[in-house]
């Protein structure tokens, strides 16, 4: 009887330790970021709708070869998955992308590594259009132009 209790106690402790493990929030080694919430409401009397800007600072690390041999800036666009799993580029009528406070042309983020620095930080803001769906949005950054990079997060740019 005591051996049975001992084994059950060990299993209980093991279950509690496993339940306390933190889940890693990443996709392909890239951390998942929570951008926040934005609410849309129709204008009413003196209360006019003002769009919220969801902001994140994205930090990029380029190795020495990338810094020295990149042909042009890395171009990243936002994509979403369709119900069939296909990646679809997000349209301008859904949202606008801002880089360092300025509207990004075609909602594309351009990243140029800074020589002599380990990291390049870019402040990215997103403003939803009133036509955007009222739901939780999941976005993916994909390169539209890999700028001659052979690997991004140890993946081929087409796979990223």
- All domains in the chain, ordered by first residue: 24-145 (2.60.120)
Which H/E stretch holds residue 26? strand 26-27
Statement: residue 155 has pLDDT above 60: yes
In this prediction, residues 47-75 reach a mean pLDDT of 80
Residue with tokens 């998955």: 81
Task: Report how far apart, in Å, the C-alpha atoms of 100 and of each of 65, 86, 109, 110 are.
Answer: 26, 30, 10, 11
pTM for this prediction: 0.65
SS3 for 139? coil
What contacts 119, CB < 8 A, 6 or more positions away?
Answer: 59, 60, 61
Statement: residue 116 has pLDDT above 80: no
Looking at per-residue pLDDT, the higher value among 20 and 48 belongs to 48
In this prediction, residues 84-104 reach a mean pLDDT of 86
């Amino acid at each position: 009887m005591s051996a049975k209790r001992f084994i059950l106690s060990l299993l209980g402790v093991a279950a509690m330790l496993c339940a306390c493990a933190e889940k890693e929030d990443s996709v392909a080694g890239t951390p998942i970021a929570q951008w926040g919430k934005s609410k849309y409401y129709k204008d009413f009397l003196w209360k006019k709708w003002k769009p919220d800007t969801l902001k994140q600072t994205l930090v990029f690390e380029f190795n020495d070869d990338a810094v020295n041999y990149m042909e042009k800036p890395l171009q990243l666009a936002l994509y979403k998955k369709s119900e069939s799993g296909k990646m679809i580029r997000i349209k301008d009528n859904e949202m606008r992308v801002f880089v360092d406070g300025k509207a990004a042309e075609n909602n594309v983020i351009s990243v140029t590594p800074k020589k002599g620095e380990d990291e390049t930080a870019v402040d990215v803001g997103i403003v939803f259009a009133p036509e955007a769906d009222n739901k939780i949005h999941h976005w993916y950054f994909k390169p539209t132009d890999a700028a001659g990079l052979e690997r991004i997060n140890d993946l081929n740019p087409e796979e990223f």
